[in-house]
């Protein structure tokens, strides 16, 4: 990078961090929880942009789809079950939490002085395991995106744990809020001039496009930023858009809550199943080099991915593809189930109100 | 140099949008500011791809545009109807008679 | 040739950024929701068009151009739809414009007797 680009990146850092501070202060200051949710969504967008300036596109991707997208919608669903205003607390009850928060903040600032500089080549992250991954990923795994190689193959067991955690979150939310709608209501009584034809037409065009884009993100993950997690969230966002515009009844007719549940569990089965197949074929758990038997590997044409002269790691390639599919299934189905839980619950609340 | 000027302009516009999002006064003003802020973020990320020589940023710009739209619709629907589950009416009052 | 393209593209990017700043100033200064929506949605689509066109002239022709076209199509599709839905929802929930005469179908009086604009005279 040349000097003006570095200066511009520094100025961008300062501007974005200032925006973050202002937004965080506004979130604390506002009494309306709805405004706080909206500002948090903007906060996520800014922090994702900032991660992009720090050259971490995979993290920025996740922050954008999860922080600005899904958590905003889930927080809105949570607000439906409670009040929209923060309660005023007397200052006496704020002293101890304030002191605690100040103490932790002070400790964090103190600890920050011990961190290595940004981009320091001698820092532990750059000198030990990180460098080893960067040096060996191309030779061992053959995936151009090192992040995907680390998450999917080197740390495949950790990622399996994360997938199980997501399934656990799905089960927890579903147990508390129910698996989906228990009652349905007609569309709201329209006020004069209250029609959404434009929105319905746009949504009808967008839903398939978004799912197509999710598939692109899924299969592009070993080349660039993206992967099963982000693709799953994007696919779930498409379904949520459909539910928002056409109503939960229509969406559950297309994707029943039972199906979503089943797919969420099936994703973990696919992921763990790849590991079991590796064991059966004589390797360790999730050791993709043993995923395919030599007979099957001999049947794959060498030019399947273009260049036939390059050495290929077909086991690694198909292993990462399969576990990403499992992650996609679990993540998208979990997000849909959580949305069904929150949105279906509100129908219940409204129905109860009407009965009263 | 011109790209840096474009980035600076977008940053100024985003800051003004944050002021409107914080001030309100109504929730629709806030949603409007958040939506417009999101569009400017998309442009900023695309420009940053050119500034840093990383054209792969365009994929992420596309994701931002998409998430921004869905979030706007969710917020709008929530503030207007207090529900995430009801369908949006096709025409005023016509099919909402029993609702 | 390449030099001319660079200057044209850069100029378009700066023009788009200026349009965005103007729109943001409008969002900050205009009196009610509807005028603000007008300012934001027009300058969003216009600024995006100018900037993405400029980027297309700057960058190498090919896959990047296609992606820029996709981003542009997406913004042109979603931004007006969101603005329309927003104005619709604001009107349905009782906000009335502060500027100009208007009449609601089915209502006899053309006023701005809205909770939001109470106490403010029509300009």
Range of the domain at A171: 143-187+195-356
Regarding whether A103 and A153 lie in a shared domain, the answer is no
Q: What is the pLDDT along chain A (356 residues), one digit of tens a residue?
A: 566 677 778 888 899 999 999 999 999 888 888 889 999 999 999 999 999 888 888 888 888 888 888 999 988 888 877 776 777 788 888 889 999 999 999 999 999 888 887 777 777 777 777 777 777 777 777 667 777 777 777 888 888 999 999 999 999 988 887 765 554 455 555 555 567 888 888 999 999 999 999 998 888 876 777 788 889 999 999 999 998 888 888 888 888 888 888 999 999 999 999 888 888 888 888 888 877 877 777 777 766 666 666 666 778 888 888 888 999 999 999 999 988 888 877 655 555 655 65
What's the pTM? 0.85
Q: Where do the domains of chain B lie?
A: 2-81
- Within 35-74 of B, beta carbons closer than 8 Å to A belong to 37-38, 41, 44-45, 48, 51-52, 54, 56-57, 59-60, 62-64, 66-71, 73-74
Regarding whether A294 and A203 lie in a shared domain, the answer is yes
Residue B25 preceded by cis peptide, ω within 30:
yes
Residue A98 belongs to a domain: yes
Report the number of distinct structural domains present in chain A. 2
Residue A132 belongs to a domain: no
Regarding whether A112 and A147 lie in a shared domain, the answer is no
Residue A245 belongs to a domain: yes
**Partners of chain C (3+ Cβ pairs below 8 A):** A, B
Residue A218 belongs to a domain: yes
CB contact under 8 A, B80 and C93: yes
User: For residue C58, which residues of chain B lie inside 8 Å, CB to CB?
Assistant: 3, 50
Tell me the residues of A at the C interface, defined by beta carbons under 8 Å apart.
190-196, 198-199, 202, 205-206
Regarding whether A49 and A183 lie in a shared domain, the answer is no
Contact B9, C20 (CB under 8 A): yes
CA distance A335 to A239: 10
Which DSSP symbol is given to A93? G
Nearest Cα residue to A153 out of A295, A269, A270, A286: A286
Please, which residues have CB within 8 angstroms of residue A218's CB and are 6 or more apart in sequence?
A: A226, A227, A228, A231, A324, A325, A328
CA distance A242 to A180: 16
CB contact under 8 A, C27 and B58: no
Which DSSP symbol is given to A116? P
Contact B76, A234 (CB under 8 A): no
Count CB neighbours of C123 within 10 A: 9
Regarding whether A271 and A219 lie in a shared domain, the answer is yes
User: For residue C104, which residues of chain A lie inside 8 Å, CB to CB?
Assistant: 192-193
Regarding whether A292 and A239 lie in a shared domain, the answer is yes
Residue A121 belongs to a domain: no
């Amino acid at each position: 990078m040349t000097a003006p680009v570095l200066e511009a990146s520094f100025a961008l850092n300062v501007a974005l961090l200032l925006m973050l501070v202002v937004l965080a202060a506004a979130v604390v200051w506002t009494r309306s929880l709805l405004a706080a949710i909206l500002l948090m969504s903007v906060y996520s967008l800014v922090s994702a942009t900032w991660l992009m300036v720090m050259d971490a596109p995979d993290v920025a991707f996740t922050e954008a789809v999860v922080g600005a997208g899904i958590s905003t919608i889930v927080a809105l669903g949570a607000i439906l079950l409670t009040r929209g205003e923060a309660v005023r607390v007397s200052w006496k009850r704020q002293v101890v939490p304030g002191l605690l928060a100040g103490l932790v903040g002070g400790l964090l600032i103190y600890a920050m002085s011990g961190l290595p500089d940004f981009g320091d080549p001698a820092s532990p992250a750059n000198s030990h395991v990180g460098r080893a991954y960067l040096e060996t990923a191309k030779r061992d795994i053959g995936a151009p995106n090192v992040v995907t190689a680390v998450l999917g193959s080197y740390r495949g067991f950790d990622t399996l744990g994360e997938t199980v955690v997501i399934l656990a979150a799905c089960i927890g939310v579903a147990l508390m809020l129910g698996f989906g709608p228990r009652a349905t209501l007609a569309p709201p009584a329209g006020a004069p001039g209250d029609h959404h034809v434009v929105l319905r037409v746009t949504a009808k065009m967008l839903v398939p496009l978004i799912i197509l884009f999710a598939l692109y993100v899924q299969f592009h993950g070993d080349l660039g930023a993206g992967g099963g997690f982000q693709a799953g969230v994007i696919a779930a966002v498409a379904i949520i858009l459909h539910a928002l515009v056409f109503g939960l009844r229509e969406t559950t007719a297309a994707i029943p809550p039972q199906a979503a549940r089943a797919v969420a569990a099936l994703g973990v089965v696919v992921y763990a199943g790849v590991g079991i197949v590796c064991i059966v074929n004589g390797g360790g758990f999730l050791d993709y080099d043993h995923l395919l038997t030599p007979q099957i590997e001999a049947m794959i044409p060498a030019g399947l991915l273009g260049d036939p002269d390059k050495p290929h790691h077909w086991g690694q390639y198909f292993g990462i593809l399969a576990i990403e599919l499992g992650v996609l299934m679990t993540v998208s189905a979990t997000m849909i189930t959580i949305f069904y839980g929150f949105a279906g619950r509100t129908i219940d609340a409204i129905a109860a109100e009407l009965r009263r | 140099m011109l790209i840096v000027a474009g980035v600076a302009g977008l940053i100024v516009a985003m800051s003004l949008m944050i002021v409107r999002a914080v001030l309100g006064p109504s929730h629709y003003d806030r949603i409007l500011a958040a939506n417009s802020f999101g569009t400017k973020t998309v442009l900023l990320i695309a420009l940053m791809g050119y500034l840093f020589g990383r054209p792969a940023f365009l994929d992420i710009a596309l994701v931002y545009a998409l998430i921004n739209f869905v979030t706007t619709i969710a917020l709008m629907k929530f503030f207007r109807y207090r529900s995430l589950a009801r369908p949006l009416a096709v025409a005023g009052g016509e099919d909402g008679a029993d609702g | 040739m390449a030099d001319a393209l660079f200057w044209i593209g850069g100029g378009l990017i700066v023009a788009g950024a200026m349009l965005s700043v103007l729109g943001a100033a409008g969002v900050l200064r205009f009196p009610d929701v509807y005028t603000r929506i007008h300012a934001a949605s027009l300058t969003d689509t216009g600024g995006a068009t100018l900037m993405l066109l400029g980027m297309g002239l700057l960058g190498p022709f090919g896959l990047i151009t296609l992606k820029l076209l996709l981003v542009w199509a997406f913004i042109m599709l979603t931004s007006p739809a969101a603005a329309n839905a927003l104005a619709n929802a604001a009107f349905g929930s009782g906000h009335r414009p502060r500027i100009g005469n208007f009449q609601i179908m089915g209502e006899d009086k053309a006023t701005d007797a809205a909770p939001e604009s109470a106490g403010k005279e029509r300009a």
